Amino acid sequence: MAFFKSLTEKADEFYYGKNGKKQDYAKALKYYEKAANNLNKIDPYSRYMAGFMYYYGRGTARDYQKAGKYFGWAKSKYPDAAYHLGLMYKDGICYTKNVVSAFQHFKEAADKITNAQYELALMYANGTAYEHTNEGYVAVTDLTKATEWMEKAAAQGHEDAKKWLAENQISDEERANSLYNRKEYAEAMKWYLKAADAGEEYSMYSIGHMYRYGQGVDKNEDVAMDWLNKAAKKGSKNAKDAIKEWKAEKKAAAKQAKDKQSQIANAVITANNYYHGKNGKPQDYKQAAHWVKIAAEAGDTGSMGMLGAMLWNGQGIQADLKSAVYWLERAVQNGDSSYIEPLSDLYNDYGRELFGREAYSEALTYCKKAVEKRKHCYQAMLALGYMYAFGKGTPKNRELAEKWLKEVIFEGDDEELKKSAMEILTPLKLGQI
């Protein structure tokens, strides 16, 4: 390890003329190459320096072939090596001229190397930037990207970049359009707003469009319409067409929603008539289940719960506990708390059948919801007392068990539930559970 470090140190001493050594590029190159070619110890710095000296002919005649070799070895660690390779591919030095490879090497170096930023910008401006797509590498002309890279180079003091920017200014709207096409929506919005402030009607339309579809901003239809109206007043055909199309869509959506509600109402009424055998319909649970399913699938919350109950009981339809749970849960999620208690019963009594395991934790969750949402849920209270007493789905909790069991016994009106509660509470108080 020390041996290779000393080679690099010696090379630096001769290259920079330090530590009492006279500047001697030939001797420096000798040591850099020794370090660079030892494959047992990778030394990217010496490889880069060897490439640099061969490229510029320092301490040796120019040798682009060797320069390219060393730069290729060093480019992953030294962006300037990638930049020089880009120049060699761009100008056909040693390698066959290849703008695709030139662009890729400049791009690889551009985050660190100012000259690479400038070269990359020129390629975007001249249409010789090659970006990878699903169809392979495609030539791209993008003045916005050119400007962005020129701005970065100019900020580092690159005079040619400053000159280019002075001679090739693009509008805020052009920059926004380019960013939008690249799907950089948040950044595009910033430039559209600047252009809109300057009175650009297309930018006003674009802002409206982006608010309508939530591109780069939170979706907001009111703000979207405000911007589209502003653009339309400025004469934007795009905005006028968008407003017309949007209004037509809203009208169609309203009609569709109205038709759907009418269909749901008809299905609910028909199901109810068959279920109860009224309004000229015979009592027919199979027909009732058919129409309840139509209403549930269309989004009617009450029908979701009713379908779940019918599936649970096999009433007019093949019994299916998993499907029953699905529809009951959908009803509860849509805000119908009346089905919370039946869900808790399903999980409590049929956990193994449903999931191949006990489902007390799920049952506990729904029992808690049932007693929170609805009064007099004594079946759920009994279940809570049982689960807290025996530690089913929760650690044992004698205090909570007694609370819920007493609620059933002293407040309930179902004698069977009271009896079941007493059968748990008595041994619990005696310490037998």
C-alpha neighbours within 13 Å on the C-beta side of residue 75: 19
Q: Is 9 exposed, middle or buried, given 0-12, 13-18 or 19+ CB atoms closer than 10 A?
A: middle
Q: What is the mean pLDDT of the chain?
A: 93
pLDDT in tens, 199-214: 999 999 999 999 999 9
For residue 344, name the pLDDT band (cuts at 50, 70, 90): confident
Rounded to an integer, the average pLDDT of 8-32 is 95
CATH 1.25.40.10 segments of the chain: 2-131, 237-323
CATH number (1.10.3470, 1.25.40, 2.40.128, 1.20.140) of 336-433 reads: 1.25.40
Q: Are 324 and 311 in contact (CB under 8 A)?
A: yes
Q: Would you state the structure tokens that stand for residue 253, as one six-digit string? A: 């959506």
Q: Is 134 exposed, middle or buried, given 0-12, 13-18 or 19+ CB atoms closer than 10 A?
A: exposed
Percent of the chain with pLDDT over 90: 80
Q: Can you list the alpha helix ranges (DSSP code H) found in 277-377?
A: 285-297, 301-313, 321-333, 340-355, 360-373
Q: Are 312 and 346 in contact (CB under 8 A)?
A: yes
- CA dihedral (227, 233, 234, 235) in degrees, to 10, reads 110
> Is the pLDDT score of 327 beyond 50?
yes
For residue 376, name the pLDDT band (cuts at 50, 70, 90): confident
Which residues are bridge partners to 137 per DSSP?
132
Q: For the chain, state the CA radius of gyration.
A: 38
> Is the pLDDT score of 324 beyond 50?
yes
The architecture of the domain spanning 174-235 is Alpha Horseshoe (1.25)
pLDDT in tens, 105-129: 999 999 999 999 999 999 999 999 9
User: Would you call 7 helix, strand, or coil by DSSP?
Assistant: helix
CATH topology of domain 2-131: 1.25.40
Question: What are φ and ψ of residue 136, in 5° steps?
Answer: 105, -160
Distance CA 195, CA 181 (A): 17
Rounded to an integer, the average pLDDT of 377-405 is 93
CATH code given to domain 237-323: 1.25.40.10
Q: Is 56 left (phi over 0), alpha (psi -120 to 50) or beta?
A: alpha
pTM reported for the whole predicted model:
0.55
Residue 28: its pLDDT value, please?
96
More confident residue, 288 or 374: 288
For residue 5, name the pLDDT band (cuts at 50, 70, 90): low
> Is the pLDDT score of 3 beyond 70?
no
Beta strands 136-140 and 129-133: pairing type?
A: antiparallel
pLDDT in tens, 248-267: 999 999 999 999 999 999 99
User: Would you call 133 helix, strand, or coil by DSSP?
Assistant: strand
